[in-house]
Amino acid sequence: MAGRTALGDFLRKCRAGMTPERAGIPGYIGQTGRRVGGLRREEVAQLAGMSVDYYTRLEQGRHTSPSEPVLDALGRVFQLDATARAHLADLSRPARRRAKQAPVQRVRPAMHQMIASLVDHPAFIVGNRTDILASNTLARALLTDWTRLPPRHRNYTRWVFLDPAARAAFLDWATVAAEVVGTLRLYAGRFPDDPQLSELVGELTIKSPDFRMWWNGHHVHERTNGTKRMTHPAVGPITVRYEALALSGDPDQTLFIYTTDPGSPSHDNLRLLVLWANQQQANATTAGGRPPTETRARSFLDTGGMSDPA
């Protein structure tokens, strides 16, 4: 994860993923006998308007602070989107001195109160390293109860890859998992000297072949909005739409809010989950209480919550 190698690794992956045909190299069509599937270094240098020696030094980590015009040229050659261009810029920053231990991120009390008030919508706040900093009751019911985990384990990426329940929760687990690795790559570019980030990546690389494969792909992804197809053992399938909102005044904290389409089966099942979560809380305070099954939860919903589903 050192910045000296991260820039070179990223450039090599970009070069390998760009075909001569896509790059518009004259005379490519009909060529045979190429030993590389992507672009050659000399082709990248020619398209970017720089010397082969200079580009080679970038890939080999012998030059780590290219200028803005150079970054723009490389972004154009590799056809990078805005997220990937920002990641390239992060990797190209001069080495920065950082504290050995990053300060603990804190969520403002007002934000805790706000997400707690969203009783009909799962909501949670994600910080550096995709750490879960705060979550409301419905988010913990839909995903996992972060409060029951050790503080160092309250991490979204770690949960996605190391908890079997996460694979069961997401019907498109591979897509979700690949995207969250791309998000973690963004953080790695912004905070290359974060020891906890290095520790997390090391653990997941050892324990998860899937994580190792996607991490080595160097793809980046910024979550802004989208759809997730999920299922919950108590209430069934739920398709949610999510919005990722940056918190003003709180750098590197993002608020995620899940919603469902009104009148849809997912909307009904999310209402069921609200009741199920409330009943779980009630059972937690009652000795010998048992969680309601899906059938009892549906009965509870049909009666408007007036009867006891247990």
Q: What would the pLDDT profile of 50-109 be if each residue is shown by its tens digit?
A: 999 999 999 988 887 888 999 999 999 999 999 999 999 989 876 554 445 566 888 999
Contacts of 2 (CB under 8 A, 6+ apart): 192
Is the pLDDT at 308 greater than 50? The verdict is no
**Percent of residues, the chain, with pLDDT higher than 90:** 63
DSSP state of 82: H
**Res 105: pLDDT:** 87
| pTM for this predicted structure | 0.79
Strand partners, 229: 239
Which of 300, 301, 242, 59 has its CA nearest to residue 310? Answer: 300
Sign of CA dihedral 248, 179, 185, 59: negative
| 48 CB-side CA count, 13 A | 31
Structure confidence by residue, pLDDT tens digits, 128-148 = 899 999 999 999 999 999 999
Residue 28, classed as helix, strand or coil, is coil
What span, in angstroms and rounded, lies between the C-alpha atoms of 21 and 197?
38
Q: Structure tokens of 307?
A: 């009867």
Find the mean pLDDT for residues 195-222.
94
Q: Is residue 158 within 8 Å of 180, Cβ to Cβ?
A: no
Poorest-pLDDT segment among 151-155, 176-180, 191-195? 191-195
Is the pLDDT at 296 greater than 70? The verdict is no
Q: Structure tokens of 88?
A: 């390239």
